[in-house]
A and B are shown apart, each in its own frame.
Chain A
Amino acid sequence: MSLIAAELERNGISTVVLQLLRVAAEKVGPPRALLVPFLHGYPLDSPDEPEKQHQVIEAALQLLERTDLEPPVFEEYLKPAPRE
């Protein structure tokens, strides 16, 4: 996925990867990776739990909005604060 993210970014599309396998991000170096603490097969936390899934996606979106970062970005997932 990191290689796909890189090709998208080369073409002007901003990306964020929900990364389960930390070593893959560290070795390959995607532009932006949110390191999520879930089991493989569960990148968005839990099935049929829309709120939990939204929290993960919101953290990814907030990473996209950051203007203080330089690639490669590896950010640990923390449940985001509710947006005002």
Chain B
Amino acid sequence: MGDLNEFTLPVKLFLKTYRWRPIKSVPWAPLKKPLSESRLALVSSAGLVAADQKPFDESVRGGDPTYRVISSDIELKTLIDTHRSESYDHSGLHQDPNLALPLDRARELVATGRIGSLNDRHLSFMGSITAPGRLLRDHLPEAVSLMVEDGVDIALLVPV
């Protein structure tokens, strides 16, 4: 489960020969304060967009490097899955979008005091980016700056 054998042969072959981009000098940001005082943001790679946002574009070679901001007060069931990858089963997250963007669970964690607060903005990307250069250069710095601006302390990243 969660391994290469779930994929079709062409995808398996692609992943076996894919030149991954290793992170050089892995950065490390330990917690600065207890979780009960920390602000949480969620990051999804399920290609989710709000109804009034532009869908991710599957036709972009190397993967769509853009991102969408998802508001914390959005009704989860209104999110649209625009990731058309056939490499995974989408039915679970269509049934319950918390699988990919667990906003309801995060709200519950704030209510119990486990987490200090939930950020107003969350980040949505479309995974399967095989050429991450444009993401790293043109879009990710801006997306991360929004989180810094908001005073986010911790992020839960949920790939699909």
Contacts and interface: CB of A to CB of B under 8 A. Distances in A.
A28 B55 CA distance: 27
A39 B43 contact: no
B104 interface: yes
B20 A1 contact: no
A24 B1 CA distance: 14
Contacts, number: 195
B155 A19 contact: no
Given A21-B2, A61-B114, A64-B35, A31 B27 contact: yes
Interface string B66-101: 000000000000000000000111111101101110
Contact of B95 (A2, A43, A47, A83): A47
A39 B159 CA distance: 11
B32 to A, nearest CB: 8
B157 A13 contact: no
Given A3-B140, A6-B27, A41-B88, A15 B157 contact: yes
A41 B2 CA distance: 9
Contacts of B38: 14
Interface of A: 1-24, 27-31, 35-44, 46-48, 50, 53-54, 57-58, 60-61, 64-65, 67, 70-72, 83
8 nearest A-B residue pairs (beta carbon):
A47-B96, A27-B20, A40-B88, A41-B88, A20-B2, A71-B26, A9-B27, A47-B95
Interface of B: 1-4, 6, 15, 20-23, 26-32, 35, 38, 41, 43, 45, 87-93, 95-96, 98-100, 102, 104-106, 108-109, 114-115, 123, 125, 127, 132, 135-136, 140-141, 143-145, 147-148, 152-160
